[in-house]
Amino acid sequence: MKLQEYMGKDLLRKAGVPVPGGQVASTPEEAAEIARGLGSVAVKAQVLVGGRGKAGGIKLADTPEEARQRAAEILGMEIKGLTVDKVLVEQQVKIAKEYYAGITLDRAKHRFILMLSSMGGVDIEDVAASNPEAIIRTWIDPAYGLTGYDVRAAMFKAGFEQSAFKDLQRILMGLYRVMVQTDAMLAEINPLAVTEDGEGIAADAKFDIDDNALFRQPELAQFSAESIDDPVEKIAAEAGMPYVKLDGDIGIIGNGAGLVMMTLDVVKSVGGKPANFLDIGGGARAEVVRKAFEVVLSDPQVRGIVMNIFGGITRGDEVAKGLLEAAASMDIRVPVAIRLAGTREEEGRAILEGSAYTPAPDLVTATRSVLEQMRAGAGVPAGGQS
Build a one-symbol-per-residue string for 119-158: x at contacts with ligand GDP by CB under 6 A, - elsewhere.
Answer: --x-------------------------------------
Say whether 243 is catalytic: no
By CB under 6 A, the count of residues binding ligand GDP is: 15
The binder of ligand GDP chosen from 16, 37, 39, 51 (CB under 6 A): 51
Interface stretch with Mn ion, choices 101-109, 126-134, 202-210, 318-326 (CB under 5 A): 202-210
**Cα dihedral 50/107/225/288 (nearest 10):** 130
Q: Which residues, at least 6 apart from 53, have a Cβ–Cβ distance to it below 8 Å? A: none
Task: For Cα atoms 207, 209, 214, give the angle at the middle one, nearest 5 degrees.
Answer: 150
DSSP at 274: B
The binder of Mn ion chosen from 4, 182, 190, 276 (CB under 5 A): 190
Q: Which residues, at least 6 apart from 28, have a Cβ–Cβ distance to it below 8 Å? A: 68, 69, 71, 72, 75
CB of 172 to Mn ion, least distance (A): 16
CB atoms within 10 A of CB 101: 27
Residue 114 burial (CB < 10 Å; 0-12/13-18/19+)? buried
| Residue among 92 and 147 whose Cβ is closer to ligand GDP | 92
Interface with Mn ion, residue 208, by CB under 5 A? no
Q: Within a 13 Å sphere around the CA of 310, how many CA atoms are in the beta-carbon half?
A: 10
The binder of Mn ion chosen from 5, 204, 208, 249 (CB under 5 A): 204
Interface with ligand GDP, residue 53, by CB under 6 A? yes
Near ligand GDP in 198-237, by CB under 6 A: 203-204
The binder of ligand GDP chosen from 1, 24, 84, 93 (CB under 6 A): 93
Say whether 238 is catalytic: no
CB of 191 to ligand GDP, least distance (A): 4
327-363 as b/e: b if 16+ CB within 10 A: beebebebbbbbbbebbbbeebbebbeeeebebbeeb
Among residues 5, 90, 98, 188, the one annotated as catalytic is 188
Report whether 91 contacts 60 (CB < 8 A). Answer: no
Interface stretch with ligand GDP, choices 50-58, 137-145, 151-159, 319-327 (CB under 6 A): 50-58
Which of ligand GDP, Mn ion, none interacts with 53 (beta carbon under 5 to 8 A by kind)?
ligand GDP
Report whether 386 contacts 298 (CB < 8 A). Answer: no
CB of 304 to ligand GDP, least distance (A): 38
- Give all strands (DSSP E) within 47-183, no chain letters: 58-61, 78-79, 82-83, 87-91, 95-106, 111-117, 135-140
Q: Which residues, at least 6 apart from 141, have a Cβ–Cβ distance to it below 8 Å? A: 111
Interface with ligand GDP, residue 74, by CB under 6 A? no
**Contact residues for ligand GDP (CB under 6 A)?**
42, 50-53, 58, 92-93, 95, 98, 121, 190-191, 203-204
**Contact residues for Mn ion (CB under 5 A)?**
190, 204
User: Where in the sequence numbering do the catalytic residues fall?
Assistant: 100, 188
